[in-house]
Amino acid sequence: MYRKESVETFLRNQSQLFDEPVAQSYEEAEEFLEDCMAVEADSLKEVKRYFEESGADLEGMSAKDLEEACEVFALPSGKYLIVEG
């Protein structure tokens, strides 16, 4: 189960990651996030740790670069949603 703000933010901003919408409704967005095993992170430090653990090369990436990655959705609460399509 994902936070409401995660689902709503993804639904609203899914075009930052996908050329065409993958969800038309809240329920579809929530199901998509579950299917692709999206991750909620409390801080950029956690986002960085997630990418490092998945083998991503982050050398030379600033915190701002990480925050602006197309897979990273900044949430209104200051937390983050990571969606790998």
Q: What is the pLDDT along the chain (85 residues), one digit of tens a residue?
A: 899 999 999 999 999 999 999 999 999 999 999 999 999 999 999 999 999 999 999 999 999 999 999 999 999 999 999 999 7
User: Residue 82 in contact with residue 71, Cβ under 8 Å?
Assistant: yes
Phi-psi region of 52 (alpha: psi -120 to 50; beta: other; left: phi over 0): alpha
pLDDT of residue 36: 95
pLDDT of residue 5: 98
Question: What's the pTM value of the predicted model, to 2 decimals?
Answer: 0.93
